[in-house]
Amino acid sequence: MKKHVFETPQLVAEAFGDYLMTQLSKVDRYHCALSGGSTPKLLFSYLAKKYHDSPLWNRLHLYWGDERCVPPEHEDSNFKMTNQLLLSQVSIPVGNIHRIKGEEEPSNEAISYAEILIRSMPLDTNVPVFDLIILGLGEDGHTASIFPHQMELLDSKRFCEVATHPDSGQNRITLTGQVINAAKEVSFLVTGAGKADKVDEILEQKGDWKKYPASHIKPLSGNLNWYLDESAANHSL
């Protein structure tokens, strides 16, 4: 595990964005799953601005680590946010954008999306292998849409599952622990003082760390990165 700490959320976004584009420049095809929520917004805006005209976008195949079970135009949709800030601004071929269809019946979409993963990228012992999975961290220690009350999703034999948000009950489609830990690289992007205690418990393996799904993200490749701003990295502040 490697920690990358930057002074501000914007500097996290810029460093990770430049890293992502450098990775794209090395390959012909790059399979990347995006996180949702608010943290990646700075990353998407930075990429759209600095790399607006990059020819590298056609190498990128985009997926999501999770999606809310709502239509793509709904305000909760991770796709809607990503489309507004990034997809509508750069030339990623439409066929390279593999949206989780939040408008579909959840259990059917979990099956359909798993089939897309299998068809779209290399497999290792029949498990889809992403080049990169970007994850966020919830203040309860969840990641993707694997919440503490559904730890079994970490060990599911399926590649995608239907999850439920513990407070709102909203259905989500999420990648499971098996797929996440099969990725060549997993990078958490976590910013803000609100996450600092959980980051500390997870990275130092103390307190209730075992109860947090994010603690169990350990890619078999060993290539696990935490990109943090100073507020999230310094819990004592």
Annotate each residue in 60-99 with x if it binds ligand 6PG (CB under 6 A) or - if it does not, as one string: -----xx-----------x---------------------
Question: What secondary structure, in 3-state letters, does 43-58 show?
Answer: HHHHHHHHCCCCHHHH
**Would you count residue 9 as binding ligand 6PG (CB under 6 A)?**
no
If the CB atoms of residues 23 and 78 are measured against ligand 6PG, the closer one turns out to be 78
Residues 196-235 that bind ligand 6PG (CB under 6 A): none
State both tokens at 97: 């954008």
If the CB atoms of residues 70 and 114 are measured against ligand 6PG, the closer one turns out to be 70
**Would you count residue 106 as binding ligand 6PG (CB under 6 A)?**
no
Number of H helices, E strands in the chain: 7, 11
Q: Which of 23, 35, 215, 231 binds ligand 6PG (CB under 6 A)?
A: 35
Q: Give the three-class secondary structure for 119.
A: helix
**For ligand 6PG, which residue has the nearest CB?**
136
State both tokens at 151: 């730890």
**Would you count residue 136 as binding ligand 6PG (CB under 6 A)?**
yes
**Would you count residue 109 as binding ligand 6PG (CB under 6 A)?**
no
Q: Which of 144, 160, 163, 224 binds ligand 6PG (CB under 6 A)?
A: 144
C-alpha–C-alpha distance, residues 175 and 163, integer Å = 10
| 78: CB partners within 8 A, 6+ apart | 34, 35, 36, 37, 64, 66, 67, 68
Give the helix, strand, coil percentages of the chain, each rounded to 5. 40, 20, 40
Choices 31-39, 115-123, 176-184, 199-207; region in contact with ligand 6PG by CB under 6 A: 31-39
